[in-house]
Chains A and B, each alone.
Chain A
């Protein structure tokens, strides 16, 4: 009897403690999610009542060339940014993972760009990528290369934004560095006793033990890539000729510029399905290359 009274007491306490989240979930997340699913099946411009149209938003999406453009731009961004980001972060982390004087300073410098607030970052990069006077093309000119028009060029605007993202890869460096420091020293010693060279130790000890960390950045990086918004909104507003119209930007335009709330909601759900399926595929593939102890 006493036992069950205590249990009930604990249950009441549990629900009281989590009530902020529970209430918030109902009003700010769960409720809106259900509403969003409904809106995606309607024609809705906020002013008049939503008009149920079944799956027509989804069908229209597939016939909307800008939807495909935005999807293409986003995939382009992800395909270049994620592997290059992983490579740069991994090499930087390896360089930082050694005993050398002034390491803390280097680590701070490598990380610093990633904390620059998004809007300031975007403005700085508009300036850095300025075709005539920007730092990038000035630097290229010093080695006798005439740089492209970057953000004003249909072909180079995406690479420009990717370059900017790569500059802010600092948090991955920190994650990889923590991963490298977590590799047990004994494993290196054992490999050394077995006669492994430095390079072999890297390939057979470091890399396998780092695969879970790399996998983590791959998954979160892909989710992040599909939500790129602020940079494109500020730096190019989707141009030139829609070459930086990323998925999240096109969704935003549909919702808040054209007030096509139903259409934008269906885009949000397609986005969710894309992210979900890519994540599942990655988890499936992970069995082949990620090393779990």
Chain B
């Protein structure tokens, strides 16, 4: 065997191993889509058909007949917009303060903020629920959106790390010219850290889309449900209708996958920096 055939063989073996591992990751998703395109009669057969024959699209429009998924989508979108806006404004402001300005008590406050990241959310979940009950926020979007305007320690930390990497010279020059701190933040820091800001916004999007416990606790009437809670209710009503359930699930998963494909770079960077579970 000459050297060339050896490298080609080597490459083929590697591809086979990568493909075997890969199939374990991808097959469940393909199975989801495949099931969503079948009638019950096609679903319950052995061995299973991967490509349905014929392909049945009916499950998709049916989902909307059985449950108000467009309304769930609208509710989720409202919460998304509020949270992304809130996180963007609050976290970038706070991160700028921690990254660039000095004041007595700064280190203590920074440590305080980091230490809250270590606490399990259950510790403040109950009093927060009671607080929101007492001020009449139950069954509104406020408990899910207002806190976003007060920052999130993880994202503040991530942005601070980015802001620290920007050279001080730019700011010093601007300060000498009489530029206010806010203008420096707005006109120098923010434009220079667009990728980091994008990462934070994408993660916020994913977090809201994914959130189940929050809406479960705070939203009670079905017209307020988000996609996550709506999907869970849908499961309890159509527990055995797998074609329908997989169609609904596919529609909830799809936007996330689309966003992932368009923003892979920021995404990967964000995971590496925060170690966050996506």
User: Contact residues of A with B, CB < 8 Å?
Assistant: 7, 10-11, 13-18, 20-25, 27-33, 35-36, 39, 46, 91-92, 95-96, 98, 100-102, 106, 108-120, 123-128, 132-133, 135, 138, 141-142, 167-168, 170-171, 174-175, 178, 216-217, 220, 223-224, 226-227, 229-230, 233-234, 248, 251-252, 255-256, 261, 264-265, 267-269, 271-272, 275-276, 279
Q: Determine if A138 and B125 form an interchain contact, defined as CB atoms under 8 angstroms apart.
A: no
Please report the C-alpha to C-alpha distance between residue A178 and residue B267 in the assembled complex, in whole angstroms. 13
Tell which of A14, A114, A132, A227 touches B122, judged by Cβ atoms closer than 8 Å: A227
Residues of A within 8 A of B228 (CB): 117-119
Q: Determine if A117 and B209 form an interchain contact, defined as CB atoms under 8 angstroms apart.
A: yes
Given contacts A20-B149, A127-B242, contact A36 B123 (CB under 8 A): yes
Q: Determine if A112 and B26 form an interchain contact, defined as CB atoms under 8 angstroms apart.
A: yes
Residues of B within 8 A of A96 (CB): 18
B245 on the A face (CB < 8 A): yes
Please report the C-alpha to C-alpha distance between residue A112 and residue B210 in the assembled complex, in whole angstroms. 15
24 contacts between A and B (CB under 8 A): A7-B102, A14-B102, A15-B103, A17-B94, A21-B94, A21-B151, A23-B150, A24-B150, A25-B116, A27-B150, A30-B116, A32-B126, A106-B19, A108-B264, A116-B253, A117-B209, A119-B252, A124-B29, A168-B277, A171-B277, A175-B272, A220-B275, A269-B123, A275-B120
Tell which of A15, A127, A261 touches B35, judged by Cβ atoms closer than 8 Å: A127
B101 on the A face (CB < 8 A): yes
Q: Determine if B25 and A24 form an interchain contact, defined as CB atoms under 8 angstroms apart.
A: no
Please report the C-alpha to C-alpha distance between residue A268 and residue B106 in the assembled complex, in whole angstroms. 29
User: Contact residues of B with A, CB < 8 Å?
Assistant: 11, 14-15, 17-19, 21-22, 24-29, 31-32, 35, 43-44, 46-48, 89-90, 93-94, 96-98, 101-104, 106, 109, 112-113, 116, 118-131, 133, 147, 149-151, 153, 156, 181, 185, 206, 209-210, 212-213, 217, 227-229, 231-232, 235, 242, 245-246, 248-249, 252-253, 256-257, 260-261, 264, 268, 271-272, 275-278
Q: Determine if A175 and B256 form an interchain contact, defined as CB atoms under 8 angstroms apart.
A: no
Q: Determine if B46 and A21 form an interchain contact, defined as CB atoms under 8 angstroms apart.
A: no
Q: Determine if A32 and B213 form an interchain contact, defined as CB atoms under 8 angstroms apart.
A: no
Chain A contact residues: helix, strand, loop or mixed: helix
Q: Determine if B213 and A230 form an interchain contact, defined as CB atoms under 8 angstroms apart.
A: yes
Please report the C-alpha to C-alpha distance between residue A101 and residue B242 in the assembled complex, in whole angstroms. 37
Chain B contact residues: helix, strand, loop or mixed: helix
Residue in A16, A20, A102, A271 with the greatest tally of chain B CB atoms within 10 Å:
A20
Tell which of A116, A133, A256, A264 touches B256, judged by Cβ atoms closer than 8 Å: A116
Residues of B within 8 A of A178 (CB): 272
Please report the C-alpha to C-alpha distance between residue A35 and residue B228 in the assembled complex, in whole angstroms. 30
Residue in B129, B153, B246, B278 with the greatest tally of chain A CB atoms within 10 Å:
B278
Given contacts A14-B101, A127-B242, contact A113 B25 (CB under 8 A): yes
Please report the C-alpha to C-alpha distance between residue A174 and residue B277 in the assembled complex, in whole angstroms. 10
Distance between B28 CB and nearest chain A CB, rounded to angstroms: 6
Tell which of A22, A36, A109, A112 touches B127, judged by Cβ atoms closer than 8 Å: A36
Q: Determine if A25 and B113 form an interchain contact, defined as CB atoms under 8 angstroms apart.
A: yes
Distance between A256 CB and nearest chain B CB, rounded to angstroms: 7
Please report the C-alpha to C-alpha distance between residue A10 and residue B100 in the assembled complex, in whole angstroms. 10
Please report the C-alpha to C-alpha distance between residue A10 and residue B171 in the assembled complex, in whole angstroms. 14
Q: Determine if A20 and B18 form an interchain contact, defined as CB atoms under 8 angstroms apart.
A: no
Given contacts A13-B181, A112-B26, A113-B25, contact A265 B278 (CB under 8 A): no
Q: Determine if A141 and B256 form an interchain contact, defined as CB atoms under 8 angstroms apart.
A: no
Q: Determine if B46 and A141 form an interchain contact, defined as CB atoms under 8 angstroms apart.
A: yes
Residues of A within 8 A of B235 (CB): 123, 126, 234
Across the interface, name the chain B residue whose C-beta is closest to A221.
B277
Please report the C-alpha to C-alpha distance between residue A178 and residue B265 in the assembled complex, in whole angstroms. 13
Residues of A within 8 A of B18 (CB): 95-96, 100, 106
10 A-B pairs with least C-beta separation:
A24-B150, A17-B97, A32-B124, A32-B127, A35-B127, A11-B103, A14-B103, A14-B101, A268-B122, A21-B151
Q: Determine if A28 and B121 form an interchain contact, defined as CB atoms under 8 angstroms apart.
A: no
Please report the C-alpha to C-alpha distance between residue A236 and residue B15 in the assembled complex, in whole angstroms. 38
Distance between B252 CB and nearest chain A CB, rounded to angstroms: 5
Please report the C-alpha to C-alpha distance between residue A67 and residue B265 in the assembled complex, in whole angstroms. 43
Q: Determine if B94 and A110 form an interchain contact, defined as CB atoms under 8 angstroms apart.
A: no
Tell which of A10, A39, A135 touches B126, judged by Cβ atoms closer than 8 Å: A39
Across the interface, name the chain B residue whose C-beta is closest to A8.
B103
Across the interface, name the chain B residue whose C-beta is closest to A134.
B31
Q: Determine if A22 and B275 form an interchain contact, defined as CB atoms under 8 angstroms apart.
A: no
